[in-house]
Amino acid sequence: MGKILEIARRAKKISYNLSTLSSSTKDGALKEMAKALIDNSEFIIEENNLDVETAEALGKDRAFIDRLRLDTARIEQMADGLLTIEALPDPIGSTISTWKRPNGLEIGQRRVPLGVVGIIYEARPNVTADVVGLCLKTGNAAILRGGSDAIHSNKAVIKVLWDAAKKVGIPHGAFSLIEDTSRKSAETLMKLNGLVDVLIPRGGAGLIQNVVENATIPIIETGVGNCHIYIDGQCDISMALEISMNAKVQRPGVCNAIETLLIDEKISNTFLPQIVESLEAEDVEIRGCEKAKKIVGCIEASEEDWHAEYLDYILAIKVVDGIEEAIAHINEYGTGHSEGIVTSNYFNAQKFLTEVDAAAVYVNASTRFTDGYEYGFGAEMGISTQKLHARGPMGLEALTTIKYVVSGQGQIRK
């Protein structure tokens, strides 16, 4: 693992230089990199094809290959992402607040880069450009460890980005791809205390669990979403139908889609048959509690269903005796990602927003909005489901920390 150590040591060293790069240098590099992606899209697509062919030969499913494949449109999106990041204000170096102490010391909180940011991710080569762009804008050195399934694509994207970045004075080692995609390489990265300031795992539950259990460096847990919508007894039924359908079927394979629908029993006899009809029209399998089963005759849900993140055309449904039971269910089974209520009752809206423990809580809107772009952050490093440091969609600010800058005139402690 000498190579990874070498990459990390270089990244640490170079991170001090990156922290002082001017905004114009960083923005100039982002523009060059966006242009280079477009100019070299043929090369990137050729390399990507090698990965796609391997995945097909291995019999990977269609969703997997869809995430893996790069075409002209996807590469344009990657370039647009870099330009969006370029257009955002530089968060680094601004002073958040200052105050003066009785002894005359002036204390300021200055926003600074984290230092070295590591990311372990799976077969989504577009993430490569997003991560490089976000880290560069925030003056962080980036160490990327992608999956073996996307290795040719990742190498091609990094080569194109680096050829562009070096032309405008970005120091060597500002971003590096670990080309060794073995399990061992990921495990080495997880334990580089003193060299890597934060590690972000981005991918499936298995990857994230592995990082949570084995990392000794600080991490930010992302993504696992067992999300719910609660349909309150007092609500606009057509809005409830539209939001529930959107949250389940608009894109079922993503973390902010819902897995369980909770329905107030006061309206279950009217609402349940309507939603089930709409869901079945979209081929969604229903697994209901005993009460739901009685009303619509679906499969009965087991304890496992309340815990499940299906990421598929399956929905668990539970009839509850009111908002208290709904909130208790969510706080017990939810993963702290995105939770919603559809209601026209003021007090229930307030209660839900206050008492549900999740990164994002919604009143009368689809949970599908939990996303850096939708929140106006321009791009995202992932969606944090932990409470430390960053919660919800992580944009530029999540890649910064603060430093206390204290100016004195000779003060000593008594």
Q: Count the residues of the shown chain that bind its own copies, applying the rule CB under 8 A.
A: 66
The values of phi and psi at residue 148, to 5°, are: -65, -30
Residue 89 as a binder of its own copies (CB under 8 A): the answer is no
288 contributes a contact to its own copies by CB under 8 A: no
Compute the radius of gyration of the chain from its Cα atoms: 24
Nearer to its own copies by Cβ, of 78 and 359: the residue is: 359
Token pair in block for residue 280 = 């079945």
Classify residue 9 by its DSSP letter.
H
Considering only the C-alpha atoms of the chain, give the largest distance between any 2 of them, rounded to a whole number of Å: 78
87 lies in the binding site for its own copies (CB under 8 A): no
Site mask, its own copies, residues 340-379, x = CB under 8 A?
Answer: ---------x---xxx-xxxxxxxxxx-xxx---xxx---
Element (H, E) at 94: none
- 140, 15 in Cβ contact below 8 A? yes
Three-state DSSP at 182 gives coil
Q: How far are the Cα atoms of 225, 353, 370 from residue 359, in angstroms, in the given order?
A: 10, 11, 9
Which range binds its own copies by CB under 8 A, 147-155, 263-271, 276-284, 381-389? 381-389
Closest CB 106 distance from its own copies, rounded Å? 10
In angstroms, the first-to-last Cα distance of the chain is 50
Residue from 65, 107, 205, 314 binding its own copies (CB under 8 A): 107
Residue count of the chain, please give it. 414
Q: Give 286's strand partners.
A: 315
**In this chain, which stretch among 53-61, 64-72, 97-105, 278-286 interacts with its own copies, using CB under 8 A?**
97-105
- Pattern 125-164, its own copies, x by CB under 8 A: ----------------------------------------
Rounded (10°) CA dihedral 202, 208, 213, 219 = 30
The position carrying tokens 């894109």 is 251
DSSP state at residue 215: -
Contact pick of 19, 40, 154, 210 for its own copies (by CB under 8 A): 19
Q: What is the DSSP letter of 324?
A: H
- Name the minimum Å distance from CB 11 to its own copies: 13
Q: Is 410 in the site for its own copies (CB under 8 A)?
A: yes
Comparing CB distances to its own copies, the nearer of 9 and 159 is 9
Chosen residue from 22, 98, 302, 411 binding its own copies by CB under 8 A: 411
Where on the chain is the footprint of its own copies (CB under 8 A)?
A: 16, 19-20, 99, 101, 105, 107, 114-115, 193, 197-198, 212-213, 216, 218-221, 236, 239, 242-243, 246-247, 250, 331, 349, 353-355, 357-366, 368-370, 374-376, 386-389, 391-392, 401-413
